[in-house]
């Protein structure tokens, strides 16, 4: 069963400037980009720039993604992703808790920290140009730390696919780094 929620990120805890400043310390990676032949021929592929994560507290971080060079895109709805859709591959122990206004997500209801896919999509039309989304991800309160690479497949209007990722650390490093399950060949 999935749950559809649209919620605000705690704007009083984070400023846009704070996110961009802290984003310089994150180590984002764009692992793969595949465009349709028409988009590739036009030379106007979307540009995806991950930033963050920014720590809100010991169990909460905000992961951001700036999307530029976008065409105008219609709103999406759960199961019908005509605009932008992010498919986060969450390890056990992490859960999406909130997304930016104008975005929604669906994930596990019964055991929110069980891991697996969590979908994030735009709920309003996106004008041509640049937009961004911020995704608040929480660590299971039963855990003290978790470290790894958070990955997401990003599709834009069914014509473009890219895998984006962020390095994260909740708590103190244990030396064990969970791999990015959104990476090519990781999704069996």
Q: What is the band of 115 on the pLDDT scale with cuts at 50, 70, 90?
A: confident
**Mean pLDDT throughout 45-61?**
96
Q: What is the reported pTM?
A: 0.75
Q: How confident is the prediction for the chain on average, in pLDDT?
A: 79
DSSP letter (8 states) at residue 18: H
At 161 the pLDDT is 92
Residue position matching structure tokens 């997304």: 99
At 24 the pLDDT is 36
The domain segmentation of the chain, as residue ranges, is: 2-170
HSE (side-chain half, CA atoms, 13 Å) at 57 = 7
Tell me the pLDDT tens digit for each residue of 124-174.
Answer: 999 999 999 999 999 999 999 999 999 999 999 988 999 999 999 999 998
2-170 folds as: Immunoglobulin-like (2.60.40)
Residue position matching structure tokens 């530029």: 68
SS3 23: helix
pLDDT of 33 above 80: no
HSE (side-chain half, CA atoms, 13 Å) at 166 = 30
Structure tokens at 21: 């400043």
Q: By the 8 A CB rule, do 46 and 3 touch? A: no
26: left (phi over 0), alpha (psi -120 to 50) or beta: beta
Q: What is the band of 4 on the pLDDT scale with cuts at 50, 70, 90?
A: very low
Q: What is the band of 10 on the pLDDT scale with cuts at 50, 70, 90?
A: very low
């Amino acid at each position: 069963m999935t749950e559809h929620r649209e919620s605000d990120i705690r704007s009083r805890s984070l400023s846009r400037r704070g996110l961009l400043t802290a984003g310089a310390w994150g180590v984002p990676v764009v692992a793969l980009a595949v465009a349709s032949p028409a988009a590739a021929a036009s030379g106007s592929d979307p540009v995806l720039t991950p930033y963050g994560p920014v720590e809100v507290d010991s169990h909460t971080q905000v992961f951001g993604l700036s999307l530029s060079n976008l065409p105008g895109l219609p709103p999406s709805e759960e199961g019908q992703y005509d605009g932008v859709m992010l498919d986060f591959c969450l390890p056990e122990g992490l859960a999406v808790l909130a997304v930016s206004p104008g975005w929604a997500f669906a994930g596990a209801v019964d055991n929110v920290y069980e891991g697996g896919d969590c979908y994030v999509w735009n709920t309003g039309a996106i004008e041509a140009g640049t937009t961004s989304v911020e995704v608040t991800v929480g660590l299971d309160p039963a855990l003290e730390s978790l470290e790894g690479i958070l990955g997401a497949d990003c599709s834009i209007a069914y014509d473009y696919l890219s895998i984006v990722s962020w390095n994260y650390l909740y708590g103190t490093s244990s030396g064990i780094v969970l791999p990015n399950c959104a990476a090519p060949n990781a999704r069996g």
